[in-house]
Structures are given as structure tokens and as C-alpha cells.
Amino acid sequence: MAAVAKNQEATAARLDRLTVPSSGQWAAETREATLSRLREMGLPERRDEYWKYTRPDTLTQADAPAAAVYETGEAPLFDRFDRIKVVFVDGVFDEDQSDDLAGEGLSIERLADAVEKDIHWAKELYGVLEAKGQVPVERPLAAFNTAYATDGVVIHVTGKVAKPVNLIYQHKAESSDAVLHHVIKLDAGAEVTVLENGPAAARFNKSMEVDVADSAAFHHVRAQGRDHERRAVTHLFGRLGTESVFKSFTLTVNGRLTRNEAVLELTGDDAVAHVAGACLGDGDFHHDDTVFVTHDAVNCESRQVFKKVLRNGATGVFQGKILVQPGAQKTDGYQISQSLLLDEDSQFLAKPELEIYADDVACSHGSTSGAIDEDALFYLRARGVPKDIATDLMVMSFVAEAVEEVESEELRDEIIGRLESWLERRRG
């Protein structure tokens, strides 16, 4: 108990130095309630079970550790797509680089504008899914985000939107510390694709709350920037209605520390939720995927597919959970986490969990870790494929299951292109 009080004290000391962004009535109320929750739970600590494999200290300390800005020389991702661009530079909205925040079938607003109002529909979602996602496992950094987010987008999708919304995060200042929060509401039958890319800041705390109404579909493809020293903690909260679809894919290459949490709740019957990720880590790289899927309705399907390719001391973490609530019969839950360790120094740490309270379900999970299959390598080499090319082919086939979770073929190709260039750079 003493430890809890001590952490609450430390958290209070840390929070007292911060200012809550200016807000109108609804947002002020939400932020205040969130702050009291946060003070109660305290910021994450190293010995917290949920942070067993990832050290939270650099994410919670007062100052963001500096991260050099990295020029990749690559064309920006998703450049060839017709999309609505919303650009943030070190967490600050950049009007000049952004498109008009308007489109057919949706309305987009800046969070900074929405919170200034006294009444706004975003009240019914902002911090709401996050608060719900705190049970049964606490996610203090998400609460932190709700309390201190300075900006973000508030999107209301009313129809089937053809043009993707592209959130672009540029990193320009070495010690920037950004906190962004997005709220996305899809009406019944609506559809939207949200793309995210860029390193964002030296330290980035981002939340996204997505409410997918009945028969709506949400597609999400994200690539986290290549800056070697950046740190990020992100939370993706999703609530799924009847016959709705939620599909999210994340590509991560580089970054000193990344913790991506996805917290999904299937509340309507026949809903489908997929979360997938491919990560390629080289050197001082720590990547953590933490996923929590709750089945609270009948005949739903969920899939978690995570692949990690690691070398030169990179560390990959996977904590996944499928929770099937009483009565969530006919659940089809699948979870796979695999790592390919390219050398002796890399590590893979996993905790794939199932918690099941309904009997008529088919749930399974698998987790593997190992080196490149020498037999397969030999087979390719025997057919004249040089060793490095053969290795790359095997890496590509290893991550394929995750990449295939991207439904749009064009977007998939874009991701594959990035994977190939990562491999090519390593081949040098």
C-alpha cells in the first residue's frame, strides 16, 4: 500500500508542474474528472505488471529526451494518394501544409477548436472510451493524454467517404513533446479510412477514440516515422456496434521506444475487429504492442496478427489479450505473435493471454520465436538465390500475414514498398 501512496505522491508532483490546456465547459469537466482518475491510479512504474517488459520512465519523466531529426530522403508515405491532409509539426497544427478540413460525408474539426466550445458532440466520446478502457487494466498514459492533449482532430463520419483522411506528423524540433488526441465517430453504415504517418516529435503521446456504429466500417493504416531516437506511446480505443468492421494495421521501423496499445470492445453482434502490426527493428529499438480485445456480443470475430523482425539488440514485446465475457457465444478469437530474430542479440518477450467466460467459442493463440529457418534458406540458395536476397525473401514472407490485413491493395503495396526499402538499406 505504501508503494501506491508513494507513486500517487510522485504523480501529483509531476502533474502539478503542468498546465491543463484552456478548455470550454464540457472539456474542462472531462479533463478535471480524468485528472482525478489519473492522480488516483498514478503514472506507470517499472514494477507494474503491465509494464513488465517495457520501461515507462522516459515516457513519464518531466522532460522529453532529445531526439535528433532524421532526414530519410524518401518520398513521404501515401503521397500518391488523393486524400485529406491534416499536418501537425511537433504536435502543433500546421494550417499551411494541411488541406481544407472538409470533405463529402464527413466533418473534420480541430480538437483545439472543439474544446473551446461549451457544448460539443465530442463530449460523448472524448475520454469516454479511454475511461472505459481503464478496466480491468489501468492505462495511466491514456488518461494523461485525455487531461493534457493540446490538439488533434474531431471527425464525424456520416456517409461512405472515398478520400482517406491522412494525419501527418512531422518532427522538426529536437526535444519536442507532443500530446494529441483524436475522436472519430462513424454513424450507422458510414465508412472511412484514416492514414497516419510520421515520427511526430521527440516524444509523442497520442490517443485515438473511435466509435463505430452498426454496419459502419473503419480502416486504419499507420506508419510510425523512421527517426531513430523518437519515443512514442499511443492508444487506440475502439467500440464496435452490430455488424461493424474495425481494421487497423501499423508498420513500425526504427524509434528508440514505441508502445502501441489497442483496446477494442465488440459490443454489437456479428462485429469484426482486426488489429495487426509489422515491425522491423535494428539496434537500439524497443517496440511493444499491447492489445486488449473484449468480446461482449454474440458471433463476433477478432484477429490479432503481430510480426516482429529484430536484429542488433532490438527488443520486441507483445502483450495481447482476448477477453470473452459471459454470454459472448460463438466468438471466433485468434491471436498470433511471432518474432524472427536475425542475430544473437535480439529479444522477444510475449504474454499472449486468453480469458474466457463463455463455452461456445473457438479461441486460439500462437506465439513463436526463432531464427531464420536454415532449411528454407538452403533451399533458396541451392536454386541460385544469393544469401542476402534469400534472407530478405524470408523476412517478407514472415511479415506477409500481418501486411495482408491491409484491405486496400494500393495501400498494401505502399507498405510493402517501405518494407522492401528497409531491407534494401540493410543490405547496403
Partner 1 sequence: MAAIDQTQVKEGVDQETVDAVREVGGKYKYGWETEIEMEYAPKGLTEDIVRLISEKNEEPDWMTDWRLEAYKRWLTKEEPEWAMLDYPEVDFQDQYYYARPKSMEEKPKSLDEVDPKLLATYEKLGIPLKEQMILAGVEGAENAPAEGRKVAVDAVFDSVSVGTTFQKELKEAGVIFCSISEAIREHPELVKKYLGSVVPVSDNFYATLNSAVFSDGSFVYVPPGVRCPMELSTYFRINAENTGQFERTLIIADKGSYVSYLEGCTAPQRDTSQLHAAVVEIVIEEDAEVKYSTVQNWYPGDENGKGGIYNFVTKRADCRGDRAKVMWTQVETGSAVTWKYPSCILRGDDAQGEFYSIAITNHHQQADTGTKMIHLGKNTKSRIVSKGISAGVAQNTYRGQVSMHPKAKNSRNYTQCDSLLIGDKCGAHTVPYIEVKNNSSRVEHEATTSKVDDEQMFYCRQRGMDEEEAVALIVNGFAKEVLQALPMEFAMEAQQLVAISLEGSVG
Nearest distance, CB of residue 426 and partner 1, angstroms: 16
Nearest distance, CB of residue 39 and partner 1, angstroms: 23
C-alpha cell at 8: 500517487
Which residue, 63 or 343, has its beta carbon nearer to partner 1?
343
| Residue of 233, 253, 350, 423 interacting with partner 1 (CB under 8 A) | 350
| Part in contact with partner 1 (CB under 8 A); list of ranges 33-41, 60-68, 72-80, 322-330 | 322-330
Does residue 368 bind partner 1 (CB under 8 A)? Answer: yes
| Part in contact with partner 1 (CB under 8 A); list of ranges 103-111, 125-133, 294-302, 338-346 | 338-346
Subset of residues 274 to 303 that bind partner 1, contact rule: CB under 8 A: none
| Residue of 343, 388, 404, 413 interacting with partner 1 (CB under 8 A) | 343
Which residue, 360 or 410, has its beta carbon nearer to partner 1?
360
Partners of 279 in the β-ladder: 252, 308
**3-class DSSP assignment, residue 101:** coil
Dist. CA 305–CA 402, nearest whole Å: 6
Dist. CA 22–CA 24, nearest whole Å: 7
Does residue 352 bind partner 1 (CB under 8 A)? Answer: yes
Max distance between CA atoms of the chain, in angstroms, equals 70
Does residue 347 bind partner 1 (CB under 8 A)? Answer: yes
Residue 243 CA to its chain's centroid (Å): 23
DSSP category for residue 72: -
Subset of residues 9 to 68 that bind partner 1, contact rule: CB under 8 A: 49
By rule CB under 8 A, what count of residues binds partner 1?
35
Q: What angle do CA 388, 394, 399 make, to 5 degrees?
A: 130
| Residue of 4, 29, 172, 366 interacting with partner 1 (CB under 8 A) | 366
Nearest distance, CB of residue 396 and partner 1, angstroms: 19
The full 3-state SS of 124-186, as one line of letters, equals: HCCCHHHHHCCCCCCCHHHHHHHHHCCECEEEEECCECCCCEEEEEECCCCCCEEEEEEEEEE
Place of cell 530522403: 73
Q: Which residues bind partner 1 (CB under 8 A)?
A: 49, 326-327, 329, 339, 341-344, 346-371
